[in-house]
Amino acid sequence: MSLYRVLILSALSFFLSLGQALAEDYSVNVIRFSHVVSENTPKHQGALKLKEYIEEKSNGEIKVQVYPNSSLYGDKDEVENLIANNVQFICPDMSKLTRYDPRYDVPSMPFLFSSDQAVLDFWDKGKGQDLLKGLESEGIIGLKCWPNGFKNITNNERPIKKPEDLEGLKIRTQSGEVLSAIYKTLDASPSSIAFGELFTALQQGVVDGQSNTFSNIYTKKLDEVQKYMSVTKHNRVDYLLLTNKRFMDSLNKKTKKLVMDAVEVATKKERELSISLNAEAYEKLKEREQMEIYELTEEDREDFREALAPVYEKYGSAIGQDVIKDAMSW
């Protein structure tokens, strides 16, 4: 065959495959994203960005359905339904994943991360990169950390200023052994309750208090059923954006690229909002004047840090000293 013919044939085959790629259909019509928090939160707004991006770029060929407020699945069944591919994205508070891998207790460790930026550095550049893979044996893919923020303690009994003020209080925890250990160390009684049941549990006095981000406290109106809030910032609510392998493997190249691009764009949005919505929520909580608010002094924080040191002795090795050291280094 002459060189000329070879060139023509190669060019034809190149344009043919380009044409096929461009004309390729998307390999999914509907994607579902389920979560447990309210609409005006970083997580829901991040999910809406994912929806907007995918629907716009696919000219409406793919629909993304976002279910907030545990309206599709709640804390107790969202992971199982992700594994079964009944839902394609969830974004749980990491303490709820510790039954699969104890390293997901890292955001619960007291006074571990020095700032919001340190959290992002840990997940994007540090040991967090290994932790993203912690659910692979379950058929789950960890995509990104979606931060929420530092947690603060609310309760109905008394202002919490010193570690001993927690003595005897019934405190709701998200999940995981570290959160239980924190309250047991402070002589309080922890019990794990799903987020969807938290408001009622506080209202009915099943528990006296809980700890959460300003954003979750404000958007779930927990100040309507709590008298005191202490700005302790002693640990964090941070999420893992998760999808499942079955779903990802079913996507053709064009769809997978669209989905992964959407994850990047939505992550950026969620991270910006985690800062601004938490700051706004704190101002709104102050304006609403439903709770008496106490901001821990540096000295108070030091007392809490000292009182909670045993948690490191007990759980440092389950999480891994390398992980703890890395989290502290940013």
Residue 47: closest CA among 269, 258, 247, 236: 269
Minimum CB distance to ligand SIN, residue 75 (Å): 6
Spatial separation of the C-alpha atoms in residues 59 and 258, rounded to whole Å: 12
Residue from 73, 104, 195, 228 touching ligand SIN (CB under 6 A): that is 195
- Residues numbered 284 to 323 that lie near ligand SIN (CB under 6 A) are none
Residue from 131, 237, 285, 308 touching ligand SIN (CB under 6 A): that is 237
Regarding 238 and contact with ligand SIN (CB under 6 A), the answer is no
- Residues numbered 80 to 119 that lie near ligand SIN (CB under 6 A) are 93
Minimum CB distance to ligand SIN, residue 151 (Å): 8
Residue from 148, 155, 255, 278 touching ligand SIN (CB under 6 A): that is 148
Residue whose structure tokens are 């992002």: 120
Q: What letters, b where the CB count within 10 A reaches 16 and e where it falls short, cover 248-281?
A: beebeebbeebbeebbebbbebbbebbeebbeeb
Spatial separation of the C-alpha atoms in residues 312 and 301, rounded to whole Å: 16
Which residues, listed in sequence order, are joined to residue 241 by a DSSP beta bridge?
A: 144
Minimum CB distance to ligand SIN, residue 325 (Å): 27
Spatial separation of the C-alpha atoms in residues 306 and 310, rounded to whole Å: 8
Minimum CB distance to ligand SIN, residue 37 (Å): 5
Minimum CB distance to ligand SIN, residue 25 (Å): 35
The two beta strands, 209-212 and 170-173, are: parallel
Residue from 31, 37, 90, 94 touching ligand SIN (CB under 6 A): that is 37
Binding positions for ligand SIN, rule: CB under 6 A = 36-37, 93, 148, 174, 195, 212, 216, 237
